[in-house]
Amino acid sequence: MIQTEALIIGAGPVGLFQAFQLGLQDIRCHVVDALPQIGGQCVELYADKPIYDIPGIPLCTGQQLIDQLLLQSKPFEPKFHLQELVSELKATEDGQWHVQTDKGTQFKSATVFIAAGVGAFVERGLSLPGFEALLGKDIFHKAPNATSFKGKHLVVLGDNDAALEACAEWRQGPKAAATLTLLHRRDQFQATPQAIEQMREACRAQSMRFVAGQPTGLVQGTLGQLSGLEILNAQGVTEVLNADALLLCLGISPKLGPLSHWGLAMARKQLVVNTETFATEAPGIFAVGDINTYPGKKKLILCGFHEATLAAFGASALLYPEQKTLLQYTTTSTHLHKLLGLT
């Protein structure tokens, strides 16, 4: 059981700024996210795409924004728990919150900050019998190591830059797959023109091939290992691709998941909050970013930053009711300088 003053659910930009603002109130925190890396949809969807509306930053990519937010929160050493989905949230007898993840990690926290965007972002999988049993064995979202697919009959699923980059990585060199097939439902791609042209050139050179079709079944050998992928091809004919490894580059999808069963007031799948502290109706639980709703709500990162700031003040007043929560400025406050490690 991990005891903490604050637990943040969601490691996107608003969750990271929440950790910083809590640090300015001298509140340390743990952060849980379902994705394997920090950054939420900012990294998954906009890592290399431009963002123009962050105050004081005329232009940055999603990844650059996350990198700067991580650097900003570094003095407060937030502890991250990645690839863990919060599965349980319930009140304790002493007025705190018991939180548990699908990996079995348990927290006891005085305050909880839900910064889960439009839900927990999870990597897209395949709705096929046997998928869960093979995931992590013969089916992967990311290669476990640099030689994972060497000599394998590899099928890469996806139409994005990540899928085409994976094809480039595994079709040549000493770690190359024995055969490489790119599978997507149609011969159109959401990737850069250069990556698409390189993929097509590789197909012409027969160092890989592209197949248009939809996966319909997993073929397993006598020992339960993956031996093929059944698909419905573009001609409407069922065929089986030779495959003993699948690499899924299908992007991510938001799922409200267990959050909808936590007993918190919701409207249109969003948490209702008051705009003084962005607290929910449950004492000690705050909601910031796209997951919350209130009159005039705008789903912008900069609005989430504002919400996180007021939520941190609200948490300080809740945790330390005997102390007056003062407004201090990082420019002049020696107390804040000490917290930031500047003195």
Which pLDDT band, with edges at 50, 70 and 90, does 307 fall under? very high
Which pLDDT band, with edges at 50, 70 and 90, does 279 fall under? very high
pLDDT at 121: 62
In angstroms, the Cα distances linking 147 to 24, 167, 180, 232, 338 are 44, 14, 14, 30, 47
pLDDT at 272: 96
Classify domain 125-250 by CATH architecture. Answer: 3-Layer(bba) Sandwich (3.50)
pLDDT tens for 99-117 read: 999 999 999 999 999 998 7
pTM, 2 dp:
0.73
Tell me the average pLDDT of the chain.
Answer: 93
pLDDT tens for 232-243 read: 999 999 999 999
pLDDT at 41: 83
pLDDT at 261: 76
Which pLDDT band, with edges at 50, 70 and 90, does 271 fall under? very high
Q: Identify whether the C-beta of residue 182 lies closer than 8 Å to the C-beta of residue 163.
A: yes
Q: Identify whether the C-beta of residue 124 lies closer than 8 Å to the C-beta of residue 251.
A: yes
pLDDT tens for 189-224 read: 988 999 999 999 999 999 999 999 999 999 998 889
- In the predicted structure, residue 256 carries a pLDDT above the cut 70: no
What is the 3-state secondary structure of the chain?
Answer: CEEEEEEEECCCHHHHHHHHHHHHCCCCEEEEECCCCCCHHHHHHHCCCEECCECCECCEEHHHHHHHHHHHHHHHCCEEEECCCEEEEEECCCCCEEEEECCCCEEEEEEEEECCCCCEEEECCCCCCCHHHHECCCEECCCCCCCCCCCCEEEEECCEHHHHHHHHHHCCCCCCCCEEEEEECCCCCECCHHHHHHHHHHHHCCCCEEEEEEEEEEEECCCCCEEEEEEEECCCCEEEEECCEEEECCCEEEECHHHHHCCCCEECCEEECCCCCCECCCCCEEECHHHEECCCCCCCHHHHHHHHHHHHHHHHHHHCCCCCCCCCCCCCCHHHHHHCCCC
- Between 3.50.50.60, 2.40.400.10, 3.40.50.620, 1.10.1200.10, what CATH number should domain 2-122+253-339 receive? 3.50.50.60
Stretch(es) of the chain classified as CATH 3.50.50.60 = 2-122+253-339, 125-250
